[in-house]
C-alpha cells in the first residue's frame, strides 16, 4: 500500500461499510470471545478490500477507536441535563445499536438507570391510563393533567428511541445479508471465470499438441522421402558403375 492510500481520508461510504461489517453479530461475538483480535481485523480488512477499500490493520483499529470515542462523547452530551439535544454524528445510531446495550460505568450507568426508569414510567402510565378510563366521568385537576402529559412525553420518547434502535438493527441486518449475497455472487462469478479460463487453456494446449503432432509427422514424412531419394540415387550410381565395369572388362584396349 502506497503513502497516498495510507494518508487518504475516510469517506462516509467507507466508514459506513466498515461499521456494517464491525456491527454484525458474528464479528461482535468473535471480538468479545478473544483478546487477540488481529485475525478478526484481517477478516474485516479482506471484506473491505472486496469492496475496493484498502486499509491497513492499524488504520482500521485507529478508526474504530476514534468512532468509539466520538460515540462516548455524544452519549455523555445526551446525559447532560438542561443542555438540549446535541447534534449527533452520522454513525451514532449504528454505534449505539452495538455499544448502547453494554454495561458501563460512570455517566453511562446513569443513562442506563434513566432508561430503566423510563420502563417504570411506562408501567406507571399503564396504571394511570386504566385509572383515567375507570374515572372518565370525574374531573381531573390541573396537576394530574400536567403529570399525565409529562408521562406521555416520556413514554413517547422512549418508544421513539426504541423504534430508532430497531430500525438501525434492521438496516444493519439487511445490509449484512446483502453483503453476504453479493460476496456469494462474486465468488460464483470468479469460479465461472476460472472455469472458462481453464477450459480455454485446455483447448489451447490441445491445439498446440495437435500442431506439434502434425509438424512431427510432416518432418518424419520428409525424412522418409529424402532417404528414399538417396537410396534411388545410390542404386542408380551403383548400376552405372557396374555397367562401366562390364564395358571395361570386355574391351581391354579401353583400359
- DSSP letters spanning 23-61: TSHHHHHHHHH-S--HHHHHHHHHHHHHTT----HHHHH
Domains: count for the chain: 2
Among 102, 124, 158, where does a domain finish? 102
pLDDT at 137 over 70: no
Q: In this structure, are residues 176 and 20 in contact, taking their beta carbons and an 8 Å threshold?
A: yes
Q: What is the pLDDT of residues 39-68, one digit of tens each?
A: 999 999 999 999 999 999 999 999 999 999
**Structural domain boundaries enclosing 50:** 1-102
pLDDT at 205: 87
End-to-end CA distance of the chain: 96
36 in any annotated domain: yes
Confidence of residue 126 (pLDDT cuts 50, 70, 90): very low
Name the average pLDDT for the chain: 76
Give yes or no for a contact between 172 and 97, defined as CB atoms under 8 angstroms apart.
Answer: yes
Mean pLDDT of 180-189: 86
Give the DSSP per-residue string, 105-144. Answer: -THHHHHHHHHHHHHHHHHHHHHHHHHHHHTTTSPPPHHH
Contact indicator for 118, 154 with CB cutoff of 8 Å = yes
For residues 6 and 76, give the distance between their C-alpha atoms in angstroms, rounded to a whole number.
32
Question: Locate cell 481485523: which residue?
Answer: 41
Position 172 in a domain:
no
- pTM summary value: 0.40
Residue 157 lies in a domain: no
Q: pLDDT tens across 83-123, in order?
A: 566 678 888 888 988 887 654 433 333 333 333 333 333 43
- What does the pLDDT average to over 129-141? 42
Residue with cell 426508569: 117
The Cα–Cα gap between 59 and 65 comes to: 10
Of 82, 102, 122, which residue constitutes the final position of a domain? 102
Which pLDDT does position 82 carry in this prediction? 55
Position 48 in a domain: yes
Domain for residue 192, yes or no? no
C-alpha cell at 13: 461510504
Nearest to 115 by CA among 150, 144, 155: 155
Residue indicated by cell numbers 460476496: 183
Q: What percentage of the chain reaches a pLDDT higher than 90?
A: 27
- Is residue 18 in some structural domain? yes
- Whole-number pLDDT of residue 149: 60
Q: What is the pLDDT of residue 127?
A: 39
**Boundary (domain end) residue, out of 58, 78, 102:** 102
Which residue has 385537576 as its cell numbers? Answer: 141
Average of per-residue pLDDT across 215-232: 92
Residue 133: pLDDT band (50, 70, 90) is very low
Mean per-residue pLDDT for 214-218?
91
Q: In which band, very low, low, confident or very high, does the pLDDT at 183 lie, cut at 50, 70 and 90?
A: confident
Amino acid at each position: 500500500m502506497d503513502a497516498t492510500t495510507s494518508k487518504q481520508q475516510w469517506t462516509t461510504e467507507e466508514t459506513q461499510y466498515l461499521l456494517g461489517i464491525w456491527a454484525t453479530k458474528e464479528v461482535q461475538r468473535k471480538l468479545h470471545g478473544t483478546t487477540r483480535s488481529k485475525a478478526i481485523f484481517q477478516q474485516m480488512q479482506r471484506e473491505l478490500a472486496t469492496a475496493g477499500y484498502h486499509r491497513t490493520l492499524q488504520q482500521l483499529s485507529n478508526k474504530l477507536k476514534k468512532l468509539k470515542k466520538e460515540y462516548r462523547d455524544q452519549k455523555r452530551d445526551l446525559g447532560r441535563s438542561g443542555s438540549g439535544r446535541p447534534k449527533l454524528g452520522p454513525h451514532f445510531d449504528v454505534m449505539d445499536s452495538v455499544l448502547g446495550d453494554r454495561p458501563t460505568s460512570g455517566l453511562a450507568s446513569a443513562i442506563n438507570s434513566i432508561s430503566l426508569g423510563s420502563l417504570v414510567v411506562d408501567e406507571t402510565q399503564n396504571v394511570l391510563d386504566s385509572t383515567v378510563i375507570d374515572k372518565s366521568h370525574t374531573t381531573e385537576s390541573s396537576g394530574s393533567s400536567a403529570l399525565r402529559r409529562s408521562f406521555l412525553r416520556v413514554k413517547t420518547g422512549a418508544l421513539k428511541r426504541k423504534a430508532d434502535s430497531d430500525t438501525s438493527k434492521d438496516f444493519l441486518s439487511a445490509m449484512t445479508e446483502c453483503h453476504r449475497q453479493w460476496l456469494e455472487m462474486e465468488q460464483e462469478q470468479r469460479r465461472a471465470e476460472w472455469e472458462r479460463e481453464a477450459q480455454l487453456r485446455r483447448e489451447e494446449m490441445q491445439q498446440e499438441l495437435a500442431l506439434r503432432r502434425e509438424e512431427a509427422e510432416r518432418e518424419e514424412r520428409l525424412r522418409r522421402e529424402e532417404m528414399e531419394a538417396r537410396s534411388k540415387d545410390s542404386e542408380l550410381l551403383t548400376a552405372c558403375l557396374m555397367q562401366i565395369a562390364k564395358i571395361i572388362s570386355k574391351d581391354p584396349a579401353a583400359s
